[in-house]
A and B are shown apart, each in its own frame.
Chain A
Amino acid sequence: MLDTRQDGPSALRPAEFARWSWRQLTSMRTALVLLFLLTLAALPGSLVPQRSVDPARVAQFVDDHPSLSALYERLSLFDVYSSPWFAAIYLLLFVSLLGCVLPRSRSHWSAVRARPPAAPRNLDRLPVHRAWTTDEEPGAVLATARTVVQAERFRVDSLDDSISAESGHWRETGNLVFHLALLLLLVGVAAGSLFGFRANVLVVEGRGFSNSVPAYDTFTGGAAFDDGSLAPFTVTLDDLAVRYQKDGDQRGAPRDFRASVTYTTEPGAPRQRAVLRVNHPLVVDGTKVFLLGNGYAPVFTVRDASGTEVFSGPVPFLSRDGNMASTGVVKVPGARPEQLGFEGVFLPTAVLDRRLGPVSVFPGLRLPRAVLSAWTGDLGIDDGRPESVYSLDTSGMDRVTGASGQPLAQSLAPGATMELPDGASITFDGVRRWAALQVARNPGTRPALLASVLALAGLMLSLFVRRRRVWVRATATDDGRTLVEVAGLARSEGEGREVLAGEVAAIAEAIRTTTTPRETTRER
């Protein structure tokens, strides 16, 4: 009977081999095309502003280019990474991946348990080959060869006149682990976006919030997110300390932020303290609270014409430049006879610039000033339309003017008061800071991390384990000696001959010295 395993270096019959390569080739091609497509699809998201990254820039873009935006909107170009076409490509890629990896896993499973393929008839045709003759019996030579090769951690199979050895199945194992880990990564990412949430809240020193949807300024929950799953903790911001670079060409660059907070894990639980820093979130019950930004909240007291205190408290202003010149408004709907509104610029270190007027020259509090102007009339906040707390709708209001008829505007030091002609007043009491916090829970993070670690480990195996085969044949020659041949075949990408040649040489040397202690070897 013909032993087909004798036919060539590969264990597969030609027809099988052809089918196998054809499948491999076609599916890898597809995967390659999909890889390119996904790369291309990721591109526009870095050039067109993305809603998920910076909604304000998207709004700005829509204002600036109304007709282009309509087109972009239709193509989901503001939401590339959650768009149907992006999803279509990566889902196809993962289907292709699965369709490729599952059959490969099966055949790898049998390959690992199969015997190493028999030695080809002509070992000297292999890329790496060594031969010599010895007086030792063929059987003894093969027995020695077997131990030598096993010591090199090859799997070995013995046939009549030869042994076959194979090593490096970890390469394919690693490769499969890598590809399967990518699927696990997809699962983790999907779990995170289905069950996770993200919220933002701006908190002034001395104030706090509870982990509940109404307490947040913005809230995004996943499709399967349940409001009831929010952990019932509360956080109070006691103090926010900020330090800036004082000199050099990076003067004014922030150097340290620390938010000291008090929190309770649930109503009635003991109060605990923590310090939040950038890169050091507070973790409560799997939900993380991050310090993302900060700003100033000047504190004002407003009295109306009758002298009644109608407003008192901190008002968060938003920073406009690197030196924290910040703008904001104070709305006083309770003022009589008419509602009052103030527009202000807060300057932590104020300087009067000849051309620009009052500017801030350092982000820290060195010479704080609030520059205010006043409006009276209807704030437009009672008609139910959505309104911003950072801007004043002056369509129903009149600018308050001073004695000269000029619009009234005044720069106030802490403690100073601006009087309006009708007797109303606003006092700049002082400054507090506010912190922009992000609160998030992502149940997919751990699976995603696990998947990444597995992928990396698999990748290293798949790139650095060398897959190779070694054969040793010992045949009796006519003159009663034994011809020993050792040959090797490298089976992995990008491998030069040298490494395998070295290995085969070492194996040959080990066999030779063990089998032939006497000086009878005839190799030169």
Chain B
Amino acid sequence: MSAEVLAGFSNDLLYAAMAVYALAMTCFAGELAFSGPRRRVAQEEPVRSMVPVGVGGSGLPEYVEQPATTGKLPGRSDRASRLGRVGVSLTVLAFGLHLGSVVARGLSAERAPWGNMFEFSVTGALAVTGIWLAALTRKDLRYLGTFVVLPVLLTLGLAVAVLYTESAQLVPALKSVWLVIHVSAAILASGLFTIGFAQTVCFLVQEHRERAFLPKPSFMDRFPAAAALDRSAYRFHAFGYPIWTFAVIAGAIWAENAWGRYWGWDPKETWAFITWMVYTAYLHARATAGWRGRRAAYVALVGYATFLFNYLVVNIWLVGFHSYAGVG
């Protein structure tokens, strides 16, 4: 297949993926809407209950631990639940199409498919879906469906509508194995941060509701308790942070090879540093009494904002060595 045919194929797959994502999102939204508000029964921590199982010969009670109530929510209506499962299946399908699009793009350009902003966005969105689907095999994160697929769709929309760049070879500055290493790490970390961000938002809403005396019934009742959301958000951030650190280090090694200085306070570098510092502060905030919970969550939101700034504003408006966005 020629490069152009592959590039066209890649675009077709991308549009198909977007259509399926949109369907999936409808399902997830439907699941939240149709399951109807219900008082949450699950406890904030799956609670350990000690049940005496009879008195042994010693007169001591023998204990056995009750199976912990999982984060799963009891009483979810079947119809809504089915919608959610359909949503997941559709997301898997969309992910397949999306992956195909990225691979075709890479084959068409004969290089890693993240050489300009369009490609970075498309591959980054793929990472978000991929991470979520992977996490779904281990944890019940289905409640996040809408909050994952929506940013993915927005990113893809932005990519095709604003950032679109024809498939082509790279400018010489980008021809390096470090492009593969540095950018893939950045993409993976930003995928993790994106999901951490979605969970942090959910946490803040949930936490607000839990502090209210009698919160209004809402679909948030179906979400895990604030403490569980907070812990899960932390895990995504804690996973993303070393990868981001690695991306920054790899970028510095590349800069040393390309420009003869490993750090030059170019706007892109500066903002990568700022993002790193804010997430560092987030980790520290969680370890600092008085900053846990809500305040730490705000720091995480700021971290994500600095990441978005780097991706959207710095790439396009602030000039620097890294002017490869390819946006005309």
Mask for A481-524, Cβ within 8 A of B = 1, else 0? 10100000000011111100100000000000000000000111
Which of A442, A448, A449, A493 has the most chain B CB atoms closer than 10 A to its own CB?
A: A493
> In the bound complex, what is the Cα–Cα distance between A38 and B253 (angstroms)?
23
- Select one of A35, A131, A248 contacting B168, CB under 8 A: A248
> Binary interface profile of B, 311-324, with partner A (CB < 8 Å = 1, else 0)?
00010001110000
- Whether B274 pairs with A42 at a CB distance below 8 angstroms is yes
Instruction: Tell me if A5 counts as interface (CB < 8 A to partner B).
Output: no
B175 neighbours in A (Cβ, 8 Å): 256, 278-279
The answer to whether the Cβ of A112 comes within 8 Å of any Cβ in the partner chain is: no
Chain A interface main SS type:
mixed
Who on chain B is nearest to A457 by CB? B242
- Which of A43-51, A65-73, A385-393, A417-425 has 4 or more CB atoms under 8 Å from chain B? A43-51
Is B154 among interface residues, defined by CB-CB distance under 8 A?
no
- B249's contact among A46, A129, A456, A494, by CB below 8 Å, is which? A456
Q: How far is the CA of A468 from the CA of B319 in the complex (A)?
A: 49
**Residues of B contacting A481 with CB < 8 Å?**
56-58
Residue on A with the closest CB to B291?
A32
Residues of B172-212 whose CB lies within 8 A of A? 172-173, 175-176, 178
Contact of B260 (CB < 8 Å), options: A130, A133, A438, A449: A438
In-complex Cβ contact of A249 among B165, B238, B258, B284 (8 A): B165
Whether the Cβ atoms of B259 and A292 lie closer than 8 Å is yes
Residues 430-487 of A contacting B (Cβ, < 8 Å): 438-440, 442, 445, 448-449, 452-453, 455-456, 459-460, 463, 477-481, 483
Q: Which residues of B contact A52 (CB under 8 A)?
A: 264-265
A28-B287, A256-B172, A278-B173 known; A522-B274 Cβ under 8 A: no
Q: What sequence of 0s and 1s flags, for each residue 285-323 of chain B, a beta carbon within 8 Å of any chain A beta carbon?
A: 111111100000000000000000000001000111000
| A255 CB-CB contact with B under 8 Å | yes
Are B56 and A448 in contact, CB atoms less than 8 angstroms apart?
no
Does residue B12 face the partner (Cβ distance < 8 Å to A)? no
Asked if A245 is at the interface (CB within 8 A of a chain B CB), the reply is yes
Tell me the bound Cα distance from A249 to B249 in angstroms: 33
B58, A478: Cβ atoms closer than 8 Å: yes
- Mask: chain B, 44-87; 1 = CB below 8 Å from A; 0 = not: 01101010010011111011110010000000000000000000
Q: Does B110 contact A (CB under 8 A)?
A: no
B260 contacts A278, CB within 8 Å? no
Give per-residue flags for B118-155: 1 if the beta carbon is below 8 A from chain A beta carbons, else 0: 00000000000000000000000000000000000000
List the one stretch of B16-24, B27-35, B213-221, B275-283 in contact with chain A.
Answer: B275-283
Contact of A250 with B46 in the complex, beta carbons under 8 Å? no
Q: Which residue of the partner chain B has the closest CB to A189?
A: B263
Among B241, B258, B291, B314, which residue has the most Cβ atoms of chain A within 10 A? B258
Residue contact A279 to B274, C-beta cutoff 8 Å: no
CB distance from B160 to the nearest CB of A (A): 15
Number of interface residues of B (CB under 8 A): 73
Give B175 Cβ to nearest chain A Cβ, in Å.
6
Contact mask for chain B residues 260-272; partner A; CB cutoff 8 A; 1 contact, 0 none: 1111111100110
Residues of A174-212 whose CB lies within 8 A of B: 189, 198
Q: How far is the CB of B85 from chain A (nearest CB, A)?
A: 23
Determine if B277 and A39 form an interchain contact, defined as CB atoms under 8 angstroms apart.
Answer: yes
Question: A32 touching B288 by the CB < 8 A rule?
Answer: yes
Query: B166 and A522: CB pair below 8 A?
Result: no
- Measured CB to CB, the nearest residue on chain A to B256 is A445
Shortest distance between the CB of A83 and any CB in chain B (Å): 12
Do residues A281 and B265 form an inter-chain contact, with CB atoms below 8 A?
no
Contact (A440, B166) CB under 8 Å given A477-B57, A478-B59, A523-B64: no
* Contact A129 B173, beta carbon cutoff 8 Å: no
Contact present for A250 and B168 (CB under 8 Å): yes
Please report which residues of chain B, range 223-269, place their CB below 8 angstroms from some CB of chain A when the two chains form the complex: 228, 231, 234-235, 238, 241-242, 245-246, 249, 252-254, 256-267
Q: Are A493 and B165 touching (Cβ within 8 A)?
A: no
For A249, the chain B residues whose CB sits under 8 A away are 165-166, 168, 328
Q: A29-B288, A245-B168, A245-B169 are in contact. Are A497 and B46 (CB under 8 A)?
A: yes
| B9 lies within 8 A of chain A by Cβ | no
CB distance from A152 to the nearest CB of B (A): 20
User: Does B171 touch A at the CB level, under 8 Å?
Assistant: yes
Within A258-286, the residues touching B (CB, 8 Å) are 277-281
- Selected from A21, A47, A257, A479, the residue in CB contact (under 8 A) with B172 is A257
CA distance A253 to B115 in the complex (A): 13
Q: Would you call B15 an interface residue if the criterion is a C-beta within 8 Å of the partner chain's C-beta atoms? A: no
Q: Does A226 contact B (CB under 8 A)?
A: no
A25 to B284, CA, bound (A): 11
Q: Is the CB of A494 within 8 A of B53?
A: no
Chain B residues positioned under 8 Å from A130 (CB to CB): 65
Decide if B264 touches A493 in the complex (CB within 8 Å): no
Q: Which residues of A contact B168 (CB under 8 A)?
A: 245, 248-250, 253
Query: Considering only CB atoms, which chain B residue lies closest to A289 in the complex?
Result: B260
Question: By the criterion CB–CB under 8 Å, are B264 and A127 in contact?
Answer: no
User: A481-B56, A483-B56 are contacts. A290–B259 as well, Cβ < 8 Å?
Assistant: yes
Question: Which chain A residue shows the least CB distance to B239?
Answer: A463
Contact (A129, B50) CB under 8 Å given A452-B252, A477-B60? yes
Residues of B within 8 A of A20 (CB): none
Does residue B326 face the partner (Cβ distance < 8 Å to A)? yes
In Å, the complex CA distance between A279 and B176 comes to 7
Supposing A28-B287, A29-B288, A254-B171 touch, asked if A127 and B48 sit within 8 A by C-beta, the answer is yes
Q: CB-CB < 8 A to A477: which residues of B?
A: 56-60
Question: A54–B318 Cα gap in the complex (Å)?
Answer: 12
Instruction: Please tell me if A75 contacts chain B, counting CB pairs below 8 Å.
Output: no
B-chain residues with CB within 8 Å of residue A25 when the two chains form the complex: 288-290
Contacts of B259 in A (CB 8 A): 290, 292, 438
Known interface pairs A46-B267, A281-B260; A459-B242 also in contact (CB < 8 Å): yes
Residue of A nearest to B47 (CB): A497
Residues of A within 8 A of B287 (CB): 28, 493
Q: B60, B254, B319 — which one has the most chain A CB atoms within 10 A of its CB?
A: B60
Shortest CB–CB separation between residue B192 and chain A, in angstroms?
A: 12
User: Which residues of chain A are within 8 angstroms of B169 by Cβ–Cβ distance?
Assistant: 245, 255
Q: How far is the CA of A42 from the CA of B241 in the complex (A)?
A: 19
Kindly report which residue of chain A lies nearest to residue B252, judged by CB atoms: A452
List 4 tightest A-B contacts by C-beta distance, closest first: A477-B58, A479-B57, A494-B234, A440-B260
13 pairs of residues in contact across A and B, judged by CB atoms under 8 Å: A35-B280, A54-B319, A127-B48, A248-B166, A256-B172, A455-B245, A463-B241, A478-B57, A478-B59, A479-B58, A494-B286, A497-B48, A523-B53
A-B contacts besides A290-B258, A524-B64, 6 pairs, CB < 8 Å: A52-B264, A129-B65, A249-B165, A278-B172, A278-B258, A279-B178
